[in-house]
Amino acid sequence: HYMRGGKPGYFPTFKEIPHPVPLNLFDPFGFTKKLSAEQKAKKLNIEVNNGRLAMIGIFGFISASKGLIVPGLDSLGLARYGGEYMAPFTAADSALPYVADMVKQIGNLGYAL
């Protein structure tokens, strides 16, 4: 991990560890081998920003499906979701961090399961 002295954006190859799959997770076809360090840094920044936009988008859709006002999504006519997104976490998962407090709130936020 880069917080412990590693290189940001580095994925170890499967050549470093025994693995039966011939392709790597990062750049399996070698598209970035000929890129300069600056080009790789720019593409890494683009990839991180794409991930951030994807997270904003999914939370926008979740918010719109619960009836909240989301500019740009209100005109799409998304069906309201009557369930609880966090319902898969139950009291059986209370050993996980924050789950016990979260389970107490399921169904208590103004809408029924």
How many angstroms separate the CA atoms of 26 and 30, rounded? 9
| pLDDT tens column, 62-101 | 888 888 888 888 888 888 887 777 667 666 777 778 777 7
**pLDDT, mean of residues 24-33:** 80
